Amino acid sequence: MTFDVPSGCKIMVEAAIRFLSLANQLAATTRRVRMKFEEGDTGTMGYLNRMGFFDHLAAEVEVLPSRPGYSAAEAHRGGNAALVEIARISKDERDEELPTRLTAALMRSCHTRPDAAELEGAAWTIFAELIDNVFSHSSTVLDGYAALQVYPKGDRLSVAVSDSGLGIMQTLRPTIGKEFPRLTDLSDTQLLVEIFRQGLSRHGPDRGCGLKGSAAKAIKFQAVLDVRLPRQRVVLIPARGAYKVNTADCYDGLPLMWGTHIGFGFRLGG
């Protein structure tokens, strides 16, 4: 499989770590994967190198015209206040400081918001819960990833957390009949909204509070929630203090990508 990255292509942080996860998934299933960057390291490849993309890309993936000769992320790590380079989320080597680094980067860019002090505590909780969710539920030998990027021209900060595990629906659907029988007939989109509204979990009604709590805090700060599932993508936009089905943009029938890939978008100025 060949991915062609044309001249002028701009990849946002959410897409970057989803691209990374997909390539590593394909490589893990022994598929031949090739990435072709038309502009070489002067274009998108250079940006991905600065983010640390190639530090985590499976060695089996072929990169054209060639892999970067050095890691720009390692050379300049921490030098850009608007970026938290791609961080690995591994069950074998937990990075306890990752939620703090993400929160610090968010606050450097959002400190002018009138609710900045409250946002700081909420953001740390959101990041910690999402990262912990990868450890607790992903059931995969592949690493997960997290990254953050500020887009001043768009008045937006995006943070993304990605894992290559079974995915929310794959773990929850088999238990719906027993744990939440009244939700059996919901569509995947409707069920996804309820996961974030009610805190649903395959382990029962008292075990899914992490995602519910993260969503509640994100809603309070008007954050847009972008969730990519194996064959779906749902973008949830806050409306009247909640995420609702009728305010969601839904995309079905997407190319298969295992796992749960979550992005939050915050406005810099509130």
CATH, residue 202 = 3.30.565.10
Q: Are 71 and 86 in contact (CB under 8 A)?
A: no
Residue type, 263: G
45/140 same-domain check: no
Same domain? 41 vs 62: yes
Q: Of 47, 77, 107, which marks where a domain is finished?
A: 77
Q: Helices in the chain by DSSP H: which ranges?
A: 13-28, 44-51, 53-56, 72-76, 98-110, 116-137, 168-172, 176-179, 188-198, 209-220
pLDDT the model gives residue 241? 63
According to DSSP, residue 155 is labeled T
One domain for residues 66 and 160: no
Q: What is the mean pLDDT of each run of 10 residues along the chain (270 residues)?
A: 93 94 93 94 94 96 95 89 87 81 84 83 83 68 88 85 78 72 76 68 47 72 84 79 66 87 81
Domain hosting residue 96, numbered range: 79-270
**Of the candidates 46, 77, 108, which is a domain's last residue?**
77
User: Do residues 160 and 230 both lie within one domain?
Assistant: yes
CA-to-CA dists, residue 197 to 37, 38, 158, 238, angstroms: 41, 43, 21, 12
Q: How many CA atoms lie within 13 A of 50 on its CB side?
A: 17
Residue 63 φ/ψ, nearest 5 degrees: -120, 125
Q: What is the pTM of this model?
A: 0.84
| Whether residues 72 and 93 fall in one domain | no
65 prior amide bond cis, ω within 30 = yes
Same domain membership, residue 103 and residue 55: no
Residue with tokens 């700081």: 120
The verdict on 73 and 83 lying in the same domain is no
Q: Domain ends where: 62, 77, 92?
A: 77
- Cβ within 8 Å of residue 213, ≥6 positions away: 125, 129, 199
In the prediction, which pLDDT does 70 show? 94
What is the tally of structural domains in the chain? Answer: 2
| pLDDT value of position 229 | 85
> What pLDDT does 208 receive?
44
Same domain, 136 and 214: yes
Among residues 154, 137, 147, 172, the alpha carbon closest in space to that of 19 is found at 147
Q: What pairs with residue 224 in β-bridges?
A: 265
Question: Is the domain of 135 the same as that of 20?
Answer: no
Residue 104 sits in the same domain as residue 234 = yes
